[in-house]
Structure 1
């Protein structure tokens, strides 16, 4: 399992958020760089000494007050709606994809995300040295992925568990679902041993 595959399984699909954040950051960086260039006087001493609110711009805004106010209100509402949509999209629960095995009309066959998770979890809990497991199916219908957490008993051979997980559990899941690849992010934890009573 490569780092790219694990990263795909670990990360939510934040492509839109990342692009928007990048663009906002880029605009802020360019604005700051422009302010520094003007402030240091690299565009001329006069521009560097002008007030922050340009008198020419203020004069133009005073002469066109109504259109400027309308444009500011529209821009403010637009930014508010985009920000609200962005926040709601970021806070929504991550989708759990069901997998379409057969899309033939009248004979559709869909495997739910819970069924996929339950089957992989049951297989993972059968591995020697694993005391319990938790599996979540994530991603999309077209490219599902798994997040697996395994709790290991003390003294477990980590390499053996890893090899068995890859060879038995994940291979079986891929073959059962008819997938060429099934990215998986695996987290291993040492299970806490029960507390011993002192008498």
Structure 2
């Protein structure tokens, strides 16, 4: 669970798995991402994200990492009302078969 400041003096709890699922879904929707896995670690008041992305062959890792940071993780951070969401991201490219020439 992630403890969220609801800005009305009370705190709300957000299920950590729900936040992981949302981040995974948004990350997997990025062009060039074949699969995403997300785990939240850390304290309820200061979570961190561990993200693993499997990239499609010939994907642009720099562009994907930028989008993940600027869009996906920023959206998760803002939606959960967090000041920060430190993240470690691992990128792996999917293997593909070499083209055969006849």
TM over 0.5: yes
SS at match of 1:182: coil
Greater relative CO (CA pairs within 8 A, separation 6+)? 2
SS at match of 1:139: strand
Match of 1:154 among 57, 66, 82: 57
Q: Does 1:109 align with 2:12?
A: yes
Alpha-carbon separation, structure 1, partners of 2:25 and 2:67: 14
Match of 1:37 in 2: none
Matches within 5 A, 1:100-139: 100-101=3-4, 102=6, 104=10, 109-139=12-42
Match of 2:80 among 166, 173, 177: 177
Q: Does 1:193 align with 2:96?
A: yes
| Runs of 4+ with deviation above 3 angstroms | none
Higher strand content, 1 or 2: 2
Alpha-carbon separation, structure 1, partners of 2:83 and 2:3: 14
How many equivalent pairs are there?
Answer: 96
RMSD: 2.0
Deviation string 1:36-58 (CA, Å, 9 cap, x unpaired) is xxxxxxxxxxxxxxxxxxxxxxx
1:186 deviates by 0.1
1:192 deviates by 2.8
Alpha-carbon separation, structure 2, partners of 1:175 and 1:121: 16
Q: TM-score, normalization: structure 2?
A: 0.85
Name stretches of at least 5 consecutive residues in structure 2 with no aligned partner.
Answer: none
SS at match of 1:188: strand
